[in-house]
Structure 1
């Protein structure tokens, strides 16, 4: 794992507490993102891992070895790629959600921003290595 147990801990207690809190908020948002297609799961879990690596080695180990959340982090960080099914599902749900949002918004510039975001996120997903 790129974030090793030997990652530098922040010495100042306030910084460590803030990083610890940010880690838990990120886990919460990541878990919500599993169900909501427009909220990205993996970036929030990666942020949580980074925060815990610098604030609490115990919770970092807990997160990366977690039965359900750990694989989201490990697959991404170790460069194993994203399964084809996950890519298809992510892109389909992304376009479904963005399409619905763009359809319901009356402002042209907001539609353009939504569609541009969808194009860039789709490109990012497609550029990730594909795991067979």
Structure 2
């Protein structure tokens, strides 16, 4: 964890506890620090070595209305499509609350590109998944 982060420690802890649900043909759930065989299989099938779980909802964890969030997410989807980046729909859900945010698992994106995307959409963090298929929380602030 980045001790210099300006993100509230409780928020960081909530991110670490979140279930990052990938809504692929065979749905699966990513958890921070836990190797995921379904993700490894998806990477292999897609011919990629990495992916990132990102969202445009609730910039900097400020609660926005559904209409604003939907517009932000559409901009993110449009950008990914313009850049010819493949993605799978998903949702981030905290297991102890009703919080949920529509998200995307972007396939084949580099760590630096994923961080830029997260910063562009004013996110506190992204979930990075490298060749080992172990999701990592990457703080952006």
TM bracket (short chain): under 0.3
Question: Normalized against structure 1, the TM-score is what?
Answer: 0.25
Greater C-alpha radius of gyration: 1
Question: Normalized against structure 2, the TM-score is what?
Answer: 0.24
